Amino acid sequence: MLTLASLSLRLGVSGCRGGRRSIATVVSGNKTSRLVRERLALEVERMRSRFSGFRPALVVLQVGDRDDSNLYISSKLKAAAQIGIDARHVRLPSSATQDEVLQNILSVNENPFVHGLIVQLPLDSVNPMDSELITNAVSPDKDVDGLSCINAGKLSRGDLKNCFIPCTPNGCMELIRQTGVSVAGKHAVVIGRSKIVGAPMHDLLLWNHATVTSCHSKTTDLPEQVGRADILVVGAGRAEMVRGDWVKEGAVVIDCGINHVPDETKASGKRVVGDVHYASANERAGFITPVPGGVGPMTVAMLMENTVLSAQRFLLKNPAGR
Ligand code: NAP
Ligand code: LUD
């Protein structure tokens, strides 16, 4: 029998209501990403048996040795291994030149055995790098990060079926879907307009038929804008900036922020918090994503999804599997 508890578990949402104040339902990225990864593992297994041993392949290109990039890349490699995606990590030293980075990209572009290529950002280099030039050097049909201007342009025009959607906004949409709240006709507010989070999130909500307001560092009345949001997505990189009393009662709150703040109670001396003040927003929101365990794991899962999608598109054009 499908009980409310089992449905919530399946959906990756949990929470309780009652008492004097309502407590938001927590939308778990850990659970939802696990479901996505399990589905993809089955899909890859099907591809392998149907196309004699074929496996989707991904290259993650890193320049330098940032701790945060190392952590994110290791999660991506682990997820790929679990799913059956053949993932290769190419790490160039921080002394690499822009030409060397571009050469590596071009050689992966030409390799028919690789279906996805990402360049982990930010680039940790001692040499001048034009990161726009570098992300645009990735072939649009292998651009599983969706950061090239070809894929971004298609998304901005609503051509969602023909592009790669950037992983973080795509993960946010999946979490919004998990809430069961329909996006069409809702007022959505996005804080941030970066190429990797805010701008594609705006486009994705728009083409899912929300009415969207985009906010940024020059927005003068942020609490007022936030108060209008049925759906709020925050990607500002400002620790706990959005206060609970700004949030509309019952809103869906999706927090992309990953910020390290000092915490003497931790062995590391710090902890990770989002861009939303979780404790106070939890008392107003209908649904809320935690940090960690919210959007972050979904970014990884959506990269895997885009890689499998790219391999499927490749097989449609090359039915022999090579
Ligand atoms: P970013 O490139 O620095 O962009 C931040 C955006 O927020 C900019 O558009 C900026 O406005 C806006 N902003 C900054 N301060 C603001 C303020 N006080 N009020 C309103 N808007 C403000 O950062 P990002 O790469 O988008 O990342 C944003 C956050 O998400 C960071 O914490 C990052 O670590 C995290 N992130 C998480 C994931 C994930 O998977 N969970 C993925 C990517 C990023 P302007 O355009 O006017 O400067
Ligand atoms: N560059 C990304 N730069 C940074 N958090 C990620 C990310 C996993 N080209 C390119 O991977 O998609 C990208 N493409 N990004 N990011 C951020 C961004 C990029 C962020 C968080 C996580 C990838 C993640 O798994 C965990 C969580 O939130 O629970 C752990 C967080 C922690 O620091 O403990």
33 lies in some domain = no
pLDDT digits (tens, 9 = 90+) for 126-171: 999 999 999 999 999 999 999 999 999 999 999 999 999 999 999 9
Ligand 2 binding pocket includes 124 (Cβ within 6 Å): no
Ligand nearest to the CA of 276: 1
Q: Is residue 317 part of a domain?
A: no
Question: Is 78 in the same domain as 24?
Answer: no
- pLDDT single digits (tens) 276-308: 999 999 999 999 999 999 999 999 999 999 999
CA distance 111 to 39: 27
Mean pLDDT of 50-78: 97
> Would you say the pTM of this structure is higher than 0.75?
yes
Atom 17 of ligand 1: nearest residue by CA position: 217
C-alpha to C-alpha distance for 145 and 82, rounded to whole angstroms: 20
3-state secondary structure of 164: coil
The catalytic residue among 76, 142, 186, 248 is 76
pLDDT the model gives residue 320: 79
Same domain, 270 and 203: yes
Residue 95 has pLDDT above 50, yes or no: yes
What is the per-residue pLDDT across 247-268, written as a single tens digit (0 to 9) for each?
999 999 999 999 999 999 999 9
By C-alpha distance, which of 98, 103, 96 is closest to 129? 98
**pLDDT, position 322:** 64
**CATH code, 108:** 3.40.50.10860
To test the ligand 2 pocket, which listed residue (299, 302, 306) has its Cβ within 8 A of the most ligand atoms? 299
Distance of CA 240 from the midpoint of ligand 1 (Å): 12
CA dist 194 and 32 (Å) reads 25
Residue 90 pairs in a beta bridge with 61
Whether 173 and 290 map to the same domain: the answer is yes
Structure tokens at 57: 């392949």
Closest listed ligand to the CA of 257 = 1
Residues 106 and 19 in one domain: no
Q: Which atom of ligand 2 is nearest to the CA of 122?
A: 3
**Where does the pLDDT of residue 319 fall: very low under 50, low under 70, confident under 90, or very high at 90 and above?**
confident
- Print the domain residue range for 13: 4-28+165-296
Query: Is the distance from the beta carbon of residue 260 to the nearest atom of ligand 1 less than 6 Å?
Result: no
Phi/psi for 195 (5° steps) reads: -70, -25
Task: Give the number of other Cβ atoms within 10 Å of residue 5's Cβ.
Answer: 9
Tell me what percent of the residues of the chain surpass a pLDDT of 90.
Answer: 92
The ligand placed nearest to the CA atom of residue 33 is: 2
CATH number at residue 215: 3.40.50.720
- For residue 234, pLDDT over 80 is answered with yes
Confirm whether 248 is a catalytic residue.
no
Whether residue 271 has its Cβ less than 6 Å from ligand 1: no
- Looking at the structure of the chain, the number of domains it has is 2
Whole-number mean pLDDT of the chain?
94
Pocket test for ligand 1, best of 32, 240, 258 (most atoms within 8 A of CB): 258
Q: Is 285 exposed, middle or buried (0-12, 13-18, 19+ CB in 10 A)?
A: buried
Chain position carrying tokens 């930010």: 122
Domain for residue 44, yes or no? no
Residue whose CA lies nearest to ligand 2 atom number 11: 72
Closest CA to 206 of 231, 175, 237, 178: 231
Average pLDDT over residues 234-251: 98
